[in-house]
Amino acid sequence: MGKRVLILSNHFITLYNFRKELIKTLIDAGNTVFISIPKSDNNMYFSNMGCKIIETTVDRRGINPIRDFFLILTYVRMMKKINPDIVFSYTIKPNIYGCMASKFTNNKQVSNITGTGATFLTNTIVSKIAKFLYKISLRNSHKVFFQNSGDKEFFVKNKMVKNNWGLLPGSGVNLEEFVYCEIPYGDEINFIFIGRVMKVKGIDEYLECAKRIKKIYENANFYVAGFIEEEKYKKIIEELNKSGIIKYIGFQKNIKYWIKKSHCTILPSHGGEGVPNVLLETAAIGRACIASDINGSREVVNDKLTGFLFKQGDVDDLVDKVDNFIKLKLEDKVKMGLAGRIKVEQEFNRKMVIDAYLDEL
């Protein structure tokens, strides 16, 4: 007999990109899947799959105690009505407030720490509040999945979880969707930054690196793919794009095309990543990665084997690694990409993540 599964999420796109295979597996196995998600025209994708959609307002970034209190009440009513056999939650608010609600309704919840974002990069009032909320909520979770050992150790050290944790290989990568393909030939060499354009993602280091490298290698292209999240970068991006230092292509639904077009993905993030999906997808396609040496990224990138790691926030080191990559023979660039593909096949197959969730069910 099928089970009743409730999924708490704060955004369609992340659920679609990283959980659709799990949801399909649950549906195909005869389970009834309810998805609590903010309103979106795209939600039809999951309802067409056979899911029952519960449109729920989630203020993803704001800290408004009244709104957050109402979100807890919404989750409590939802769980009482549905009476799920298990609750799966992703990202900070569904994790924290879902756990508070599931404790009240006596439901079994599995939380996934998909990364901490900028929350714990500095010791602020917000980070202290987040620690407190995690502490009073996650300790009651049936299981807390982490995507890298660094996050796990931080949560254990700060007593935000008990011994109710497990480790996943990030969100995994769909190896049938992201297939290996040959590296581009020709005189040009293409680098790409994929992510929200904001300080914490290391966009400043990427742009400065592009300026310096372009002075030495005119044939190097630096693409920027993603929404401009912070207002101050709009003019900067516009000017650098106009001058030819970068090529700004905005948010791309078909990011595979742009990874294939590139020789290397650069992720200069300052931290707060789970296991960056952009690195997994890049490696699966057979491209090298250059990333800052932080939790999550170092799980994917084997320095000098599948790409390069550089000191977080150090532009000089980033420029040095990009220069090293450019100087590699094409056959060595190909070897790096192949090594990355083999690594994700062995360690980051999304089927591993699905199996872990099925075990909890």
Whole-number Å distance between alpha carbons of 259 and 327? 20
pLDDT tens digits, residue range 92-142? 899 999 999 999 999 999 999 987 776 677 778 878 888 888 898 998 899
Q: What is the pLDDT of residue 123?
A: 79
Q: Which of 137, 167, 197 is the last residue of a domain?
A: 167
The number of angstroms, rounded, from the C-alpha of 330 to the middle of its chain's C-alpha atoms is 30
Give SS3 for 34.
strand
Are residues 146 and 236 located together in one domain of the fold? no
Q: What is the span of the domain harbouring residue 128?
A: 4-167
Check whether residue 32 and residue 134 sit in a common domain: yes
| Domain end point (choices 132, 167, 202) | 167
Residue owning tokens 């599931």: 102
The closest alpha carbon to 276, from 263, 265, 287, 260, belongs to 265
Q: Are residues 293 and 198 in the same domain?
A: yes
Q: Are residues 155 and 212 in the same domain?
A: no
Do 158 and 198 belong to one domain? Answer: no
Shared-domain flag, residues 150 and 209: no
Residue 56 lies in a domain: yes
Contact 200, 269 (CB under 8 A): yes
Are residues 156 and 263 located together in one domain of the fold?
no
Given CA atoms 197, 202, 208, 209 in this order, what sign does their dihedral have? negative
Burial class (CB in 10 A: 0-12, 13-18, 19+), 48: exposed
Mean pLDDT over 60-76 rounds to 83
Instruction: List the CATH number of the domain containing 121.
Output: 3.40.50.2000
Q: Which of 13-22, 63-72, 92-101, 166-175 has the lowest mean pLDDT?
A: 63-72
Residue 357 domain flag? no
Residue 184 lies in a domain: no
Q: Which of 120, 136, 167 is the last residue of a domain?
A: 167
Residue 19 sits in the same domain as residue 151: yes
pLDDT of residue 129: 84
Instruction: Judge whether 138 and 160 are in contact, CB under 8 Å.
Output: yes
CA atoms of 290 and 340, how far apart (whole Å): 12
Residue 241 confidence (pLDDT): 97
**188 vs 60, higher pLDDT:** 188
Does some domain include residue 360? no
Q: Specify the pLDDT at position 140.
A: 84
DSSP string covering 188-249: -EEEEEES-BSGGGTHHHHHHHHHHHHHH-TTEEEEEES-B-STTHHHHHHHHHHHTS-EE-
Say if residue 124 is in the same domain as residue 202: no
The length of the chain, given as a count of residues:
361
10 and 81 together in one domain:
yes
Return all residues near 218 (Cβ < 8 A) that are at least 6 apart. none
Same domain flag for 294 and 231: yes
Q: How many domains are contained in the chain?
A: 2
Give the model confidence (pLDDT) of 178-207 as tens digits: 999 999 999 999 999 999 999 999 999 999
Asked whether residue 98 is domain-assigned, the answer is yes
Residue with the larger pLDDT of the pair 324 and 271: 324
Q: Are 101 and 75 in contact (CB under 8 A)?
A: yes
Least confident of 120-129, 147-156, 197-206, 249-258: 120-129
264's enclosing H/E stretch is strand 264-267
180 within a domain of the structure (yes/no): no
In a domain, 175, yes or no: no
Do 278 and 311 lie in a common domain?
A: yes
Sign of the Cα pseudo-torsion (195, 200, 202, 207, in order): positive
